[in-house]
Chain A
Amino acid sequence: MTGDEFPALGWGIGLRRPHYAEILFQRPAMDWFEITTENFMAEGGRPLEVLEGVRANYPIVMHGVSLSIGSADPLNRGYLCDLAALTRRYEPAWVSDHLCWTGVGGKNLHDLLPLPYTEETVRHCAGRIRQVQEVLGRRILIENISSYMRYRASRMEEAEFVAAVAEEADCGILLDINNVYVNSFNHNFNSKGYLDALPAKRIVQFHLAGHRDCGTYLLDTHDQPISNEVWDLYDYAVQRFGRCPTLIEWDDRIPSFSELAAVAVKARERAIGISEYQSVEHTSGTHTERRHDDRLAGPAAK
């Protein structure tokens, strides 16, 4: 994936309502913001006014939750038109959504549900992603989801499935590190092995978030600090995929802007530390893939 198509944005946070005023009026330092696309799919009013103001000063990316790329229903053309219109208007660095299904039979569950990992589902999803990319006139990213169930019908591992869909659709991957960790616990697999199975050339962005330990399973809540295990896995992801643009996701019990910004700084410092360590290793003869080492550009306003 080229740097022109997916620019090196740096470290960002999600654009959330409690921070609107601070972002608009104080313009705090932040490389970029990720918006939840559906929150801005209104016809007008305050949300779009806010987005206009944010976009004037920061790069944004659009992250959707309702594309339902794996649904058995036809693609929602109305939703796609709205997505295309929003994309044209706000010129995000890229557009992403999840590799999942969110509803069927014209009904919406407002949740991200896993798919059976089969060749048929790979073809089904990849074909639909290609349609979306055609409508938007650009490649999109698909994100690996957190999940609590797997199907007996699956014929491959999740990482293999994500990789196969991305290859066949010719799209990028938004790698959610927390989701990998959550799933590795919920479904008993090795999280680093999962990352090893992904094609480095497809990884464009990372997500970092917190989860809750519910005893028998981990719940992806986005309302907690990032766990040490997820930070460690982030280190491993940076080693393997380079300094991809990284987003701190926090959706509930949202901390102050400065606290979230500090988490983004922490991610930056860890990633740079890993890269510098790798550089030393590289000069001493140990080769490690470092694709995204140029991804340290400052904010680029619209």
Chain B
Amino acid sequence: MNPDAAPELAELQALLYRLIVAPNGVADALANDGDATNLESIIIGDSRMSAAARAEIYSGAYFYRLLDALKEDFPATLAVMGGDEFHNLITGYLIAYPPTEPSLLYAGRYLADYFDQSPMLTRWPYIADLARLERALIESFHAADFMTLDRAAVEAIAPHDWPSLKLRFHPATHFLDAQWRVDEIVRAVAQDSEPPQALALPVRIIVWRKDAQVFYRTVEAVEAVALALIAQGSEFEAICETIGAGVIDENAIPQLINRLLVRWLDDGIFLNQSAA
């Protein structure tokens, strides 16, 4: 609390906060209140509406504003669970992770973490992966604007600098390791189709932003190895050696590396470090 604020104001706001966020509403919170708060002595009620009914308006607004925002942020999760279960989920989520940030943008930041501890995983074992992917799409969408490394920038790198080159990911590039093909669910829902049955298949998913649009796809095994090395800060030469060690035909190595690099550059997953 702010030491400069009148204690009455702090107490009033703390009380109202507690009543407004109470999961079963103001009347229930008052009925179960050990302090037996007399709300009529704080809020002016009248013949039209009691003090509790007036506070209840804020309680409903709090929950439904956040519910609506989270429905918009997690459309595939909502489609899988259905409206009633999603409603119940958000009731619990807001108790566990009440909003602390000024923007609603952050309200769903911990939904996947909440699923990790939730019994709902028994019914939908892929739901945490799904929420994590949907959150990554939002994080990517709003990530900081920096120039991406493109083909022209790469062509300007001197040959003797290539072995020690360290690539860095753009802030809009995200990775997640999922145990299920949740990308297929997100894609289906985005196309207004019914969410398909989730396939149990461990995958690494890359999320990136290009021209202000967010994309995602699963990465192939050799690509996953290379991307993991880049994330660790490995030099380009070491990455090539690691990839090459897994390829039988030595002549195919340059082609493979070139194919991966061109795709990454065209997608814009790297930061242009000289412009950042």
A interface, CB within 8 angstroms of B? 38-39, 41-49, 66, 68, 70-74, 76, 79, 101-111, 113, 115-116, 120-121, 124, 127, 148-153, 188, 216-217, 219
Contact = CB atoms under 8 A, between A and B. Distances in A.
Given A41-B102, A150-B43, A152-B42, A104 B145 contact: no
B16 interface: yes
B197 interface: no
A38 B13 contact: no
A182 to B, nearest CB: 12
27 contacts: A38-B105, A42-B105, A43-B143, A45-B172, A45-B209, A45-B212, A66-B103, A68-B102, A71-B2, A72-B10, A72-B14, A102-B102, A104-B1, A104-B17, A109-B20, A109-B99, A110-B62, A111-B58, A111-B61, A120-B9, A124-B5, A148-B54, A149-B51, A152-B41, A152-B44, A216-B49, A216-B53
A45 B145 contact: yes
Interface in B148-204: 171-172
A148 B102 contact: no
Contact of B142 (A47, A79, A121): A47
Given A41-B102, A45-B145, A79-B102, A216 B48 contact: yes
Contacts, number: 151
B156 to A, nearest CB: 24
A48 B42 CA distance: 43
A70 B6 CA distance: 11
Contacts of A188: 46
A107 B142 contact: no
Contacts of A74: 2
Interface of B: 1-2, 4-6, 8-10, 12-14, 16-17, 20-21, 41-44, 46, 48-49, 51, 53-55, 57-58, 61-62, 65-66, 98-105, 107, 140-146, 171-172, 209, 212-213
A107 B17 contact: yes
B141 A45 contact: yes
Contact of A44 (B10, B51, B107, B144): B144
B94 to A, nearest CB: 10
A101 B13 contact: yes
Contacts of B140: 45
Given A46-B141, A149-B44, A120 B6 contact: yes
Contact of B1 (A76, A79, A105): A105
Contact of A109 (B17, B103, B212): B17
Contacts of B16: 113
B248 to A, nearest CB: 42
Contact of B102 (A38, A127, A151, A153): A38
Contact of A106 (B9, B66, B100, B143): B100
A127 B107 CA distance: 30
A45 to B, nearest CB: 5
A150 B9 contact: no
A43 B144 contact: yes
Contacts of A113: 13, 16, 58
B143 A44 contact: yes
B52 to A, nearest CB: 10
A56 to B, nearest CB: 16
